[in-house]
Amino acid sequence: GEDVEQSLFLSVREGDSSVINCTYTDSSSTYLYWYKQEPGAGLQLLTYIFSNMDMKQDQRLTVLLNKKDKHLSLRIADTQTGDSAIYFCAESDRINTGKLIFGQGTTLQVKP
Amino acid sequence: SAVISQKPSRDICQRGTSLTIQCQVDSQVTMMFWYRQQPGQSLTLIATANQGSEATYESGFVIDKFPISRPNLTFSTLTVSNMSPEDSSIYLCSVEGTGENIQYFGAGTRLSVL
């Protein structure tokens, strides 16, 4: 079945780059997403990438997609303390249902 | 992006009671979804709320426990029925607009069942 895996925890120093990794199993996934959840808040869409793309950049965020290995990463440049949150990777099978399958979430801790 | 209002934002309920959660969107949307996020866990889709017809439930979720209404293209409700402490979770509404491939989420309802 569909499955999305993420490492659970990442700690970086302020100003460093953060790289959060995700693997997925459904080769029919057409869109892959990164969401951010701050404490006590809902999910905020950060960025997404279509499956026929290798890379997408949006200001401090860079998404890399290796479709052959079913690997997705989110790089945050110049990480700030305000970036501390849980980051969820999600895949969508747009052709059938549009349903999102989420990873377990990676808690990013940014130390000053 | 759509603006989604979810009510209540949090509640503490007694075992055996029911709670209805409301989700209001500021524009007409094609798809509305309800997710559950158990403590320290990821999000799991409960059901897709279909306008004018019965919701489509995911495996492990049933209509008797989680009845859903969707009377129009901007509003939906999820009821958590006959609650037990295991139902303590965050319940989130999400929407997807026509022609979009993006789901936007409400702030969620934090439910504690005693």
Tell me the mean pLDDT in the region B61-66.
Answer: 97
Residues B67-85 pLDDT 10s: 999 999 999 999 999 999 9
- Indicate the pairing of strand B31-37 with strand B89-96: antiparallel
CA-CA-CA-CA torsion for B12, B105, A33, A76, nearest 10 degrees? -80
Are the C-beta atoms of residues A111 and A104 closer than 8 Å to each other? no
- DSSP label of B50: P
Average pLDDT, chain A: 91
**Residues from chain A contacting residue B6 (CB–CB below 8 Å):** 42
Q: Are B42 and A44 in contact (CB < 8 Å)?
A: no
Of B40, B18, B29, the residue nearest B106 (C-alpha): B29
- What confidence category does residue B97 fall into, taking pLDDT thresholds of 50, 70 and 90? confident
Nearest residue of chain A to residue B90 (CA atoms): A42
**Residues from chain A contacting residue B102 (CB–CB below 8 Å):** 33, 45, 48
3-state secondary structure of B87: helix
- What confidence category does residue A104 fall into, taking pLDDT thresholds of 50, 70 and 90? very high
Nearest residue of chain A to residue B5 (CA atoms): A42
3-state secondary structure of B72: strand
**Phi/psi at B49 (nearest 5 deg)?**
-90, 115
Question: B101 CB near a chain A CB, below 8 Å?
Answer: yes
Least confident range from A53-67, A83-97, B55-69: namely: A83-97
Residue among A33, A94, A104 whose CB faces B42 most closely: A104
